[in-house]
Amino acid sequence: MRRRHLLQWGAFGGSLWLGGSVMSQQLSGTEILEGAFPLLDLRDFSQPLPAHWLTETSAFYVQSAFGTPEVDLDTWRLTIDGLVKQSLSFTLAEIQAEPAEDFYWTLQCIGNPAGGELIGNALWRGCRLLPLLERVGIPSTTPAFALHGADGYVTALPTASLLHPDVRLAYRMNGDPLPAQHGAPLRVFIPGKYGQKQPKWLTQITGIPSWQKGHWERLGWSNEANILTQALPRQLQSMADPPPSPALSKGQRVSQKVSRLTLPTGRIVLAGVALASGQAISQVLVSADGGTTWQIANQNQPDTPYEWTLWRYAWSLPEVGNYELMARAVTPDGAQQPLNDIIPFDGTNAVLRIRLKLVDSP
């Protein structure tokens, strides 16, 4: 089902988006896809890109292996135990008394197909885990930790990943208390990892004698679960007014690999997001000729590498005909998203090929 959306995005220039100070604007004549990416009108290049492209909570994917558990807040605790110096349990009030920060974080499921909707970017609020771990005392001999959710979900991490200073606990999402389906009262975020390493309804962090596999890892998914470097084209717009600008079809699978779109000749704007594992996106390269020539897209600069980068590029294409649009991401170490058609099992960074037909304006 397609419908028009009210769009919400952060104020330009890096200020924080908060529930109460939302700019809303309705795009005229534009079909909006439902899901992770509200379509933005990005055709005016005299305007900077929005600092943040947010997924509304109602459109944020939910991936829960065992459904949403009932959590009793009176008895809920976060317990840090196992191979630690001194086990400690924290109430939610104690965790909320820790220094709190707002932070943007993009969550993606390792099973998300290129162009899929199992990805979203939200503004979360919570504290860092490291000060709690320091109070508990982590012996250098403890190799790994298991992270448990109240639903029985478990995953595990090497100790170094858990001790990363950017590991976060979150109890608010997009200006509201963390919703039940997204892990209330508390979830954890681990830098550079796919969603399976980020337990919701977090209850227990346990030092263990060896790094083990958790729920999804035992079923064959990567135990490293590092996010693959990827640029995802998400929308294509024409400068024609009123814009026909069809959105890329919802939930498009990389197995199909083709989006076929028809637009009038002239200026067209391709836009999307890009993400890597704990590294910034230094460039997004785009092509309108199936990869023969590449251009550097305009992009924003998120404050952390844990939030997706927003990018766009405008081509002037006066000739009717068929075009193939692609995008690929580059990280500061110079590594480019590979241009292959192989779909890795442990996450997907396949390059989407958009088949665009340009026709004479009516």
**Which residues, listed in sequence order, are joined to residue 359 by a DSSP beta bridge?**
264
Kindly state the smallest distance separating residue 115's Cβ from ligand MTE, in Å: 17
Residue with Cβ nearer ligand MTE (220 or 362): 220
User: Using the rule CB under 6 A, which residue among 8, 64, 79, 282 binds ligand MTE?
Assistant: 64
Considering the rule CB under 6 A, would residue 200 count as an interface residue with ligand MTE?
yes
Size of the site for Mo ion (CB under 5 A): 4
User: Using the rule CB under 6 A, which residue among 9, 17, 153, 315 binds ligand MTE?
Assistant: 153
Kindly state the smallest distance separating residue 178's Cβ from ligand MTE, in Å: 9
* Span from 20-28, 149-157, 314-322, 346-354 in contact with ligand MTE (CB under 6 A): 149-157
User: Using the rule CB under 6 A, which residue among 121, 198, 245, 337 binds ligand MTE?
Assistant: 198
CA-CA distance, 351 to 340, in Å (whole number)?
7
Size of the site for ligand MTE (CB under 6 A): 19
Single out the residue of 161, 9, 18, 230 nearest to residue 103, CA to CA.
Answer: 18
* Span from 11-19, 58-66, 99-107, 241-249 in contact with Mo ion (CB under 5 A): 58-66
| Token couple for 282 | 């230094």
Kindly state the smallest distance separating residue 109's Cβ from Mo ion, in Å: 3
Considering the rule CB under 6 A, would residue 63 count as an interface residue with ligand MTE?
yes
Single out the residue of 283, 332, 279 nearest to residue 307, CA to CA.
Answer: 279
DSSP state of 17: P
Kindly state the smallest distance separating residue 64's Cβ from ligand MTE, in Å: 4
Neighbouring C-beta atoms of residue 353, cutoff 10 Å: 17
Considering the rule CB under 5 A, would residue 195 count as an interface residue with Mo ion?
yes
CA-CA distance, 136 to 22, in Å (whole number)?
40
User: Using the rule CB under 6 A, which residue among 10, 38, 50, 195 binds ligand MTE?
Assistant: 195
| Token couple for 275 | 């993400």
Assess contact for 299 and 311: CB atoms under 8 A: yes
- Please list every residue from 77 through 116 that binds ligand MTE, using CB under 6 A: 107, 109
CA-CA distance, 192 to 222, in Å (whole number)?
13
| Token couple for 239 | 């400068």
- Please list every residue from 60 through 99 that binds Mo ion, using CB under 5 A: 63
Residue with Cβ nearer Mo ion (276 or 285): 276
Look at the block and give the residue holding tokens 């939930």.
251
Backbone angles phi, psi at 79, to 5 degrees: -110, 130
Considering the rule CB under 6 A, would residue 61 count as an interface residue with ligand MTE?
yes
* Span from 146-154, 261-269, 312-320, 351-359 in contact with ligand MTE (CB under 6 A): 146-154
Considering the rule CB under 6 A, would residue 149 count as an interface residue with ligand MTE?
yes
Three-class secondary structure of residue 131 per DSSP: helix
Residue with Cβ nearer ligand MTE (60 or 171): 60
Chain residues binding ligand MTE by CB under 6 A are 60-65, 107, 109, 149, 151, 153, 182, 195-196, 198-201, 216
